[in-house]
Amino acid sequence: MLDSRTIEIVKSTLPLLENAGVEVTDHFYKRMFSHNPELKDIFNLANQATGRQQFALFSAVAMYAKHIDDLGALGELVERVAHKHVSFDIQPDQYQIVGHHLIETLREMAPNEFTDEVAEAWVEAYGLLAKVLIGREQDIYSDYQNKTGGWTGPRLFEVKDKTPESELVTSFTFVPVDGGEIASYQPGQYLAVKVKPEQAENTEIRQYSISDKFNGESYRISVKRESKPQAGLVSNHLHDTVQVGDRIELMPPTGDFYLAHMDKPTVLISAGVGITPMMAMLETLIVNQSKQNIWFLHACENKNQHTYAQQLKSKANELDQLHYYYWYKQDDSGDELAQKGLLKLDGLQSELPLTDGHFYICGPIEFMRFIKQQLLDLNVAADQIHYEVFGPHSDL
C-alpha cells in the first residue's frame, strides 16, 4: 500500500490531471508513439483523431488519483478497463511503457508542479494501479485459457456467412479455422477483430458486440458501416472487402456488460447499432425459456436503418411475454406500429417493471444519458440500470 505522504502528493496533482488540455494529451501520445511506434498497432488511431482516447486515459488516471485511498470505489472502472485491455491482448510490460511516458509528459509539460518528489510519488502510485489492473487481467486471461474452447491472443477464424441486416448494418458469422471448440460467453459481451485494411498503416483492433446467443459452433457480430473515413476504417473494410471464406483473427469474447439477472423482468433499450448486444440477450432469454416478461425498446433513424426488424416482429407475435416497441426519428416509414420521434418512457410507465426489473441500455452516449435520466426520474434504482459504452471508457 501507499504511505500517507505519497497519497497526499498524488491527490495534490489531481487538478493537473483533471485540467489536462489537448496540448498535454497530444504531447503524451506523440511522445509515446515516437519512442514506441509498435503501440500504434494496439491503440485505436481513430479515437486518437477524435480525442476520445486522450480524454479517456487522463480522466481514468484522474479518477484513480481521486480515489487512491479507497481503491474499492474503482471496482467498476477496473473491471471495464481490464476487459477492454484483454480484448487488445495487453501485456504487463506495456504498462511500464505507458506509465513512463505519462509521468515524463507531466514532468515536461508542468515542470513547476511536477517536481522530482511528485514524479517519485507517481511512479509508486502508478505501479500500484498497474498491479491492480494486471492482476485482474491475468485472472481473465487464465479463465479463457482454461475454459472449454478458450484461448488467449489472436486466433484465426473463417467468415462462414455475411448477411445484410439493414441499410447500414451487416452481420458476419465466424468459425474457427482449426476446427476446435469455441469459448462460451455472456450475452452482451463483445469480440475484438484484428485486421489490417489496405489503406491502413497499422494493424487495427476493434470491438463488436456478439449479436446472437451462444451455439457452440460460431460467433456472429453485426457491424454498422461508419460514414467518416477515419472512424469507419475497419467497418468499411469489413463491409467492402471481407467476404465469405476470408480469414480474420479474433480475440476471445470478453466485456463487463452482459445479461446478469435472467430471473428478473428485463428491459432491453437500444438505439442504432446498440441493438446488437440486445439481440444476444433476447435470444438467450428465449432459448432458456425465461418465464419473466421482456420489453424490447429500440430507436433508429428510419425504417431502412431498423436492424433485425422482421426477426423482432416475428418473435413479438410468437411470444406473449415479449413486449416490443420501436421509434423512428424520421417520420417516413408508413409503419403504423412505429412511434415517432425520440424514445420516451413516460408512455410506458404503467407497464414497465420499475421496481423489480433490470434495464440494459446500449447506443450513442447521449442517447444512454437521456434514457438513464428518464429511468432515474421514474425512480428506478441506479443498480437496476446497466449500460455499454462503445470505444474508450466513459461514464454517464
Alpha carbon distance 305, 335 (integer Å): 13
CATH 3.40.50.80 in the chain: give the residue spans. 266-388
64 labelled catalytic = no
Q: Amino acid letter at 223?
A: V
Domain covering 155-254 assigned CATH 3.40.50.150 in the classification: no
What is the widest separation between alpha-carbon atoms in the chain?
68
Q: Indicate the CATH number for domain 266-388.
A: 3.40.50.80
CA 50 to centroid of chain Cα atoms:
17
The sheet that has 385-388: what strands, in order across it? 339-340, 322-328, 294-300, 266-271, 358-362, 385-388
pLDDT of the residue at 57: 78
Provide the annotated binding site for FAD: 190, 206-209, 389-392
Phi, psi of 184 (to 5 degrees): -75, 170
Between the alpha carbon of residue 169 and those of residues 98, 161, 166, the distances in Å are 35, 14, 5
10-residue mean pLDDT profile of the chain (396 residues): values are: 91 84 86 94 64 66 89 88 94 95 92 92 94 96 95 97 97 98 97 92 93 97 85 91 98 95 94 97 92 95 95 94 95 82 95 97 95 97 88 55
Radius of gyration of the chain (CA): 22
Alpha carbon distance 242, 176 (integer Å): 16
Between the alpha carbon of residue 99 and those of residues 12, 95, 109, 163, 365, the distances in Å are 19, 6, 15, 43, 28
The architecture CATH gives domain 4-146:
Orthogonal Bundle (1.10)
pLDDT of the residue at 54: 54
pLDDT of the residue at 308: 97
Beta strand 219-224 pairing with 169-176:
antiparallel
10 Å Cβ neighbour count for 288? 12
CATH 2.40.30.10 in the chain: give the residue spans. 155-254
pLDDT of the residue at 47: 53
pLDDT of the residue at 45: 61
pLDDT of the residue at 163: 98
pLDDT of the residue at 396: 62
141 labelled catalytic = no
Alpha carbon distance 223, 185 (integer Å): 19
379 backbone φψ class: left, alpha, beta (φ>0; ψ -120 to 50)? left
Q: Nine-digit cell at 14?
A: 489531481
Catalytic residue among 29, 126, 137, 360: 137
CATH 1.10.490.10 in the chain: give the residue spans. 4-146
